[in-house]
């Protein structure tokens, strides 16, 4: 046995250790669709922001190991304050979420007192606490349409805000935030990809710029894209989002051929989690994400309203 353990590759030993710690602590591993392959493979569930938020709220576990970025783990902690929420990669943040502060949002609310505030889930807990309702890329249009107000303060993603405004008569006022991964994809990238793969359909994430969204056949959240590719009769697709999603698509529908719209679409923050960090995190029950009482309570209202929509 000792000999077998010694000759077992390091990654296999790590996986065994993680499974043991998971069982001992009644833990579940949730991973975003952009995570690296080994993390997606060990996860109990892989999904987009909305699916992960729902899982975090409903999973019967004492510990949630969140393989993603900080706002996702915060959302899980807000929804399940009784659970231990771990973020194995402590430094994994979403730069877009830090592009608006609660103070800046309060100033905006004073200027437009009749407007409703919709915050993208990619925000801090403090910003969620200042918002009427939260949204993700898969339900942003539905969330905005569910509101009575005609004026909407939409934070922080200007591209998602502009995309939503295509589907409503409401006056959407987007904040000037953006995702550095999606915002750098250009119409030129789309033209080049079409030239290289003329039979492929183009799918893009709504965090892309309006001129890129205009050129796509389908706009969807990460899991929306996976579902679309798997159900389509077409064979080839160009995928306009972070390239980690290609592993998930290959796994779910191996007969389809997918090309990245831009090979530069890499979210470094989403790549910080690995098996070693997951194992250490389960061993030490840290880094733990907690949200202070009053902020957590107000943020929960905004997230719960979204889940109810
Ligand atoms: P999804 O909710 O579509 O998975 O998007 C999350 C995200 O951070 C996109 O950059
Ligand atoms: Fe944030 Fe963009 Fe990374 Fe998503 S891909 S976590 S929006 S920086």
- pLDDT tens-digit map of 57-69: 899 999 999 999 9
- What is the mean pLDDT of the segment spanning 259-282? 97
Does the 185-260 domain belong in CATH 3.40.50.10800?
yes
Q: What is the CATH class of 2-93+271-291? A: alpha beta
What spacing in Å lies between the alpha carbon of 180 and ligand 2's midpoint? 7
d(CA 22, CA 151): 46
- 52: Cα within 13 Å, side-chain hemisphere: 33
What spacing in Å lies between the alpha carbon of 277 and ligand 1's midpoint? 22
Pocket test for ligand 1, best of 207, 224, 243, 265 (most atoms within 8 A of CB): 207
CA-nearest residue, atom 2 of ligand 1: 49
% of residues, the chain, pLDDT over 70: 98
CA-nearest residue, atom 6 of ligand 1: 49
Token pair of 2, please?
A: 């000792």
- 308: Cα within 13 Å, side-chain hemisphere: 9
In this prediction, residue 4 carries a pLDDT of 55
CA-nearest residue, atom 5 of ligand 2: 267
Pocket of ligand 2 (CB under 6 A): 69, 94-96, 122, 179-181, 207, 242, 267, 269-270
- What is the mean pLDDT of the segment spanning 138-150? 97
Task: Look at residue 31 and tell me whether its pLDDT is greater than 60.
Answer: yes
In this prediction, residue 17 carries a pLDDT of 97
Query: Listing from the earlier edge strand, what are the strands of the sheet with 116-120?
Result: 133-135, 116-120, 151-155, 171-174
Task: Look at residue 141 and tell me whether its pLDDT is greater than 70.
Answer: yes
- What is the mean pLDDT of the segment spanning 215-242? 97
In this prediction, residue 2 carries a pLDDT of 52
Per-domain residue ranges of the chain: 2-93+271-291, 97-178, 185-260
CATH architecture classification, 97-178 = 3-Layer(aba) Sandwich (3.40)
pLDDT band at 3 (very low <50, low <70, confident <90, very high): low
> Cα dist. 226→2, 38, 175, 220 in Å?
43, 19, 29, 9
307 within 8 A of 53, measured Cβ to Cβ: yes
- Burial of residue 9, with CB atoms counted within 10 A of its CB: 0-12 exposed, 13-18 middle, 19 or more buried: exposed
In this prediction, residue 10 carries a pLDDT of 87
d(CA 143, CA 53): 15
- 35-81 residue pLDDT tens: 999 999 999 999 999 899 999 989 999 999 999 999 999 999 999 99
The reply to whether domains 2-93+271-291 and 185-260 share a CATH topology is yes
- What is the mean pLDDT of the segment spanning 182-199? 97
In this prediction, residue 86 carries a pLDDT of 98
**Triad 169, 172, 173: Cα angle to 5°:** 155
Mean pLDDT (the chain, rounded): 96
Pocket test for ligand 2, best of 66, 70, 96, 180 (most atoms within 8 A of CB): 96
In this prediction, residue 123 carries a pLDDT of 98
């Amino acid at each position: 046995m000792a000999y077998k353990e010694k000759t077992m590759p390091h990654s296999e030993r790590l996986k065994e250790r993680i499974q043991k710690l998971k069982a001992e602590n009644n833990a579940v591993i949730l991973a975003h669709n952009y995570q690296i392959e080994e993390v997606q493979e060990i996860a109990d569930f892989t999904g987009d922001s909305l699916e992960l938020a729902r899982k975090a709220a409903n999973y019967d576990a004492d510990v949630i190991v969140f393989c993603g970025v900080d706002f996702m783990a915060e959302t899980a902690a807000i929804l399940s304050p009784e659970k231990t929420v771990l973020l194995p990669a402590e430094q994994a943040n979403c730069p877009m979420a830090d592009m608006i502060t609660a103070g800046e949002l309060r100033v905006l609310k004073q200027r437009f007192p009749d407007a409703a505030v919709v915050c993208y889930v990619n925000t801090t807990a403090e910003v969620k606490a200042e918002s009427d309702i939260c949204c993700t890329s898969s339900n942003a249009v539905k969330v905005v349409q569910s509101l009575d107000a005609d004026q909407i303060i939409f934070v922080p993603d200007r591209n998602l805000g502009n995309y939503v405004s295509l589907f409503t008569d409401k006056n959407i006022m987007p904040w000037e935030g953006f995702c550095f991964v999606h915002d750098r994809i250009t119409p030129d990238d789309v033209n080049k990809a079409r030239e290289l793969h003329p039979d492929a359909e183009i799918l893009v994430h709504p965090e892309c710029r309006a001129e890129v969204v205009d050129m796509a056949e389908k706009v969807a959240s990460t899991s929306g894209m996976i579902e679309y590719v798997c159900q389509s009769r077409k064979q080839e697709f160009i995928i306009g989002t972070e390239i980690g999603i290609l592993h998930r698509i290959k796994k779910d529908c191996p007969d389809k051929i997918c090309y990245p719209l831009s090979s530069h679409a890499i979210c470094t923050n989403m790549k910080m989690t690995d098996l070693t960090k997951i194992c250490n995190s389960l061993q030490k029950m840290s880094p733990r994400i907690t949200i202070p009482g009053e902020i957590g309570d107000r943020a929960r209202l905004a997230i719960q309203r979204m889940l109810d929509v």
